[in-house]
Amino acid sequence: MGRLPEAWLAPPQVRELRELVRYRAKLVALRSGLKAQVHAVLAKEGVQVPMSDLFGVAGARLLDQLQLGRAYEVRVASLRSLIGAYDQEITTLQREVAAALAGDVGYLAIQAIPGVGPVLAAVFVAEIGDVHRFAGASQLCSWAGLTPRHRESDTTVRRGPITKQGPRLVRWAAVESVQRLPKTSIAGQLRDRVAARRGRNIGVIAAARKQVEYVFYALRDHHVRALHTAAAVA
């Protein structure tokens, strides 16, 4: 008795928040699939897409002016209609999430981390829950599946790829948050420094792990001292 750690059961409020956040993520993934279909149809018709976002203002203007074969025209129109419906549902869900997190100091503190906005912050809060159940930042990173596999024998230590155990959404949010970080940020510098030695993917994972460490302190202390120290030095 007493030898096994206690399992943590999320309270109803956290479970409901997770439901909203996970459903929103599912709708975003489905919408991405619809957008990919539009690109595929245009590729069949040999249409070049000069803009980075086909579904922004300039992209919508291009789609409105296209002369496609009837079957392709019908399909693109249908896909655009579905994408619009998904946009509305995703916006509604984001409002629900924002209302559920209104006044949450941890949620606000996480958004002070470079690369983390309201959507990613909501993922971290919902999936992590009570951060005090983790002894430290390294334990949170391990729980999130962002630490390397470790195999050890009498004379040999082998480190492999990350474990990918724990919630997938936390890893996605951490990786997404560092993709476009400027080189002037701490995590951005770490990403580029590791990438120069070991490749882009490993650099991104290293930076994502640093972001999760920041998230731990933001949730526990409601501020990230390392970020304030770096800003003062700069």
Condensed to tens digits (0 to 9), the pLDDT of residues 95-141 reads 999 999 999 999 999 999 999 999 999 999 999 999 999 999 999 99
pLDDT of residue 143: 94
**pTM assigned to the model:** 0.88
Cα–Cα distance, 182 to 79 (Å, whole number): 35
Give dist(CA 205, CA 196) in Å, integer. 13
| pLDDT score recorded for residue 88 | 98
**Do the Cβ atoms of 182 and 199 come closer than 8 Å?**
no
What's the mean pLDDT when you consider all of the chain? Answer: 91
Higher pLDDT, 233 or 201: 201
Q: Distance between CA 173 and CA 218 in Å, rounded?
A: 15
Instruction: Give the count of beta carbons closer than 10 Å to the beta carbon of residue 125.
Output: 24
Kindly report, residue by residue over 47-104, the tens digit of the pLDDT: 999 999 999 999 999 999 999 999 999 999 999 999 999 999 999 999 999 999 999 9
Average pLDDT over residues 133-157: 80
If 0-12 CB within 10 Å is exposed, 13-18 middle and 19+ buried, where does residue 130 land? exposed
Determine contact, residues 187/114, Cβ cutoff 8 Å.
Answer: yes
Closest CA to 109 of 234, 226, 207: 226
DSSP assignment string, 95-138: HHHHHHTTT-HHHHHHTTSTT--HHHHHHHHHHH--GGGSSSHH
Specify the pLDDT at position 7.
Answer: 75
User: What pLDDT is recorded for position 152?
Assistant: 56
Q: Using CA of residue 99, residue 102, residue 106, residue 112, what is the dihedral sign? A: positive
pLDDT (average), residues 156-181: 83
